[in-house]
Structure 1
Amino acid sequence: MKVWLNGSIVDARDARIDPADRGFLLGDGLFETMLALHGHPVFAGAHMLRLKAGTELIGLPLPYAPDAIEAACIEVLEANGLDAAPRASLRVTVTRGPGPRGLALPPEPKPTVLVSGATAGEPPARLSLATAMPRRNPWSPSARLKALPYLDNLLAKEEAREKGADDALMLSTNGAIACTSAANIFLWEDGKLITPSQNCGILPGITRAALLELAPDIGIDIAEEEILPARLAHISGAFATNSLMGLVPIDRIDGRDIPAHPMTARLAAAYELLLDAADEEG
């Protein structure tokens, strides 16, 4: 496998990350995961905008312009023979780079930027969720960033798998519904589509943002709300979203069957048209 590391395409076996890199030692960094269709990264501009905003928020100087990182993504796809693949995944990882021991930020950081790619399989047909113990902290800046530390999410997913579910339903520290381990969640309630608001400790996903714009255009009333788990007893459908899988229906939460809402399929079809348009523009 070939990767793009700090400006050059290299074999993954020869890629060297400094042992003092703060991303490895402290999780001091951010990442983006993108879907590529036939060699074209989908919504690359939105992903790069989120990455740039995140690095500015945490004071991490981005050493390459977003356009240069987008170009690096294309290079990685081509170097790995994925430029014609129907579906591929790209990951852009940015760390603050090597630094002295301790938590204090290095006065002159030398960030590390790594771009990798791989084939992407078809999304699952449906998902089951189980509520997990780890919670999302709305007060933490990292809850709203695509930050490297994913230990809570990892442990939540494993707990859900031990309960016989595909993924975790994560709550906020305030007890509201937040997300799955790696996806945003949407619920159908009284003919309206609702999704947890950003003050619930969620990552504002790229696909989530696209649906917030798309839903009203096809006559779907959509709202961002604080949603307590008790409301799950009254929902008429649910689905999860992220950049790689798009929209995937949720058919069970904590052992309770969730009906298939007919509008989920309509919204998924509209989103696929949006992806097709993005692929053609690429």
Structure 2
Amino acid sequence: MTWHFALVIEPAASDSSQTVFADTFTVIDPAAPALSVGELSTQRGDGIFESVGVVDGHPQEVDAHLDRLAHSAKICDLPAPHREQWRQAVTTAAEHTPRRGEGVIKLILSRGVEHGPAPTAWVTSGSAPDFALARAHGVRVVTLDRGYGLDVPSRAPWLLLGAKTLSYAVNMAALREAKRRGADDAIFVTSDGFVLEAPTASLVLRVDGRFVTPAPNGGILHGTTQLSLFEHLEAQGLHTGYEVVPVSLMARADAAWLLSSVRLAAPITSIDGKDVPVDRELTASINEYLLSPRD
């Protein structure tokens, strides 16, 4: 991924009445050093982020991403982001993404520097990786035990499950383990046998004509792309649902997808070595929709 643009935000209080925030943005060289050695985002992964897909210069689902940024900030006891300030930062960054093709804007809010300025915030934009093969040919996945039961997020909120934090070491380790097992990606499952999500994506299953995703109450991120897809499917008269999904339900699916803001919809071709049917026509239609401008 090549970064073309970066700006640092001087975070405004969430209740600020300011309406124009250009003077709180400092454009920096995305290739130059920018963070203090005391920055807690790099020392401890103590912060949150969002990745906003961009299509032909249009940032996708900005409201949903700002909602989730605020949700993550609340879980992590970070100052609430000023919604309009971050929206204007996204608009500024979008002006520096390709006018044609796909890009990505990242929003980062960190606890800041220990005993120093806090919080710190910045936004970057650049070209997105090419996911054409994954969208067209699909991905093989394996299930990996996330190491906790379905009720743990409600019993132990200090684990920050359900927040999109910068602490992605476990997610990246899961992807490496999936590749060691001959797969492309992973699906996390609970130790008591329920489906969660992929390390960087939401899961959608089609079972008995219904589109189902695990309910976002077990430490699952509520996927912005999945939300948009469900609205699209419902507008076509199709049935969608949020459910507690046992691992056994995946064997009954006649199609399945991983959904994320940048990769979009990647059909799943196998789960733990067992083939999953691929609906190529529907997948192409879904990605056509996801590549259209969406607010």
TM-score range, shorter chain: 0.7 to 0.9
Structure 1 letter corresponding to 2:141: L
Aligned counterparts of 1:218 and 1:199: Cα–Cα separation in 2? 27
Structure 2 letter corresponding to 1:217: A
TM-score, normalized by length of structure 2? 0.82
Distance 1:16 1:136, change over 3 A: farther
Q: Tell me, what secondary structure is at the counterpart of 1:144?
A: coil
Residue 35 of structure 1 and its aligned partner are, at CA, apart by 0.7
Matched residue, 1:130: 142
Matched residue, 1:90: 105
Aligned counterparts of 2:293 and 2:44: Cα–Cα separation in 1? 40
Matched residue, 2:88: 71
Matched residue, 1:116: 124
Structure 1 letter corresponding to 2:128: A
Superposed counterparts of 1:154-165, under 5 Å: 154-165=172-183
Aligned counterparts of 2:276 and 2:90: Cα–Cα separation in 1? 38
Aligned counterparts of 2:171 and 2:260: Cα–Cα separation in 1? 15
Aligned counterparts of 2:64 and 2:183: Cα–Cα separation in 1? 31
* Contact map agreement 2:190 2:196 (CA 8 A) in 1: yes
Mind listing any 5+ residue stretches in structure 2 that lack a counterpart?
10-24
1:211 equivalent to 2:232? Answer no
Structure 2 letter corresponding to 1:143: L
Residue 232 of structure 1 and its aligned partner are, at CA, apart by 2.3
Matched residue, 2:36: 18
Matched residue, 2:18: none
1:3 equivalent to 2:21? Answer no
Distance 1:274 1:256, change over 3 A: closer
Aligned counterparts of 2:268 and 2:94: Cα–Cα separation in 1? 32
Mind listing any 5+ residue stretches in structure 1 that lack a counterpart?
101-107
Aligned counterparts of 1:184 and 1:19: Cα–Cα separation in 2? 34
Q: Tell me, what secondary structure is at the counterpart of 2:292?
A: helix
* Contact map agreement 2:58 2:293 (CA 8 A) in 1: no
RMSD: 2.4
Matched residue, 1:148: 166
Matched residue, 1:105: none
Structure 2 letter corresponding to 1:144: G
Structure 2 letter corresponding to 1:90: I
